Amino acid sequence: MAIRQRLRRIRPDGRPKDTGPGGRGPSPPSERRVIRLEVNGEHFEREIDVRRSLGDFLREDLNLTATHFGCEHGVCGACTVQVNGEAIRSCLMLAVQADGAAVRTLEGVAEDGVLSPVQQAFWDHKGQQCGFCTPGMILATEDFLKRNPRPTREEIREGMSGNICRCTGYQFIVDSIAAAAENLNGRATVAEDAGRGSTSGEVGAQQVDDEVP
Ligand code: FES
Ligand code: FES
């Protein structure tokens, strides 16, 4: 009997149904609010339930399904997106909290079909296997490398410890992030050198080689 009651509270997609206090019957209708936000450079205005998570909003309302749900408890990092440039867990943030913000999902990372430096590094160094954790890894990596552009391998492991992968054993992910740092620093050095009248990217790449064992 207890099992049958529990099953009745599970939606066909396997996620718990809204239940009222004590789990008896559906919750009373909740407040709705209009939000306006930018997602991957596009402006959206939607009326939503104030309890809707940002991840649900992105996946179900905007059909941006590259954002994955693993634990839905803020533990695995699979649902990571960026809000105003900062990596956040979209299963924990409410969509109404992103009202007025700029959100970026994996769908907005490549430009004109060209992989970003971080995506390219994951591709080149086999940082993904099944790919379930990869969208969150890519968006978290971008934020991590902004804060620590020249990390050691130990710092990569520490800084990315909130993103869980079930497949790779992490070695290839660390390789990918080290290579992404190299790609990005090479680019920055080229830009800086271009400002000084030179086009060489070799110095920046060499510095990263020295610092990422
Ligand atoms: S699904 Fe959000 S942290 Fe796991
Ligand atoms: S590549 Fe499969 S979970 Fe990370």
* Each residue's pLDDT tens digit, 24-49: 566 667 899 999 999 999 999 999 99
Residues 101 and 121 in one domain: no
| Three-class secondary structure of residue 186 per DSSP | helix
Residues 128 and 182 in one domain: yes
Instruction: Look at the block and give the residue holding tokens 């430096």.
Output: 117
Alpha-carbon dihedral angle through residues 50, 52, 58, 59, given to the nearest 10 degrees: -150
Cα 174 versus chain centre, distance: 17
Write the CATH number for 54.
3.10.20.30
Judged by its nearest atom, the ligand closest to the C-alpha of residue 164 is: 2
Phi, psi of 208 (to 5 degrees): -65, -40
**Domain membership of residue 168 as a residue range:** 117-204
Q: What is the pTM of this model?
A: 0.77
Q: Is the CB of 87 under 6 A from ligand 1?
A: no
Residues 149 and 197 in one domain: yes
Residues 126 and 169 in one domain: yes
| pLDDT average, residue stretch 95-105 | 98
Contacts of 21 by beta carbon, 8 Å cutoff, 6+ apart: none
Q: Is the CB of 162 under 6 A from ligand 1?
A: no
**Distance (Å) from CA 5 to ligand 2 centroid:** 34
| pLDDT average, residue stretch 51-63 | 98
Judged by its nearest atom, the ligand closest to the C-alpha of residue 130 is: 2
- Note whether residue 22 is domain-resident: no
* Each residue's pLDDT tens digit, 120-176: 999 999 999 999 999 999 999 999 999 999 999 999 999 999 999 999 899 999 999
Q: Which of 57, 72, 161, 163 to mutate to test the pocket of ligand 1 (most atoms within 8 A of CB)?
A: 72
Residues 95 and 141 in one domain: no
With beta carbons less than 8 A apart as the criterion, state whether 169 and 119 touch: no
pLDDT of 26: 67
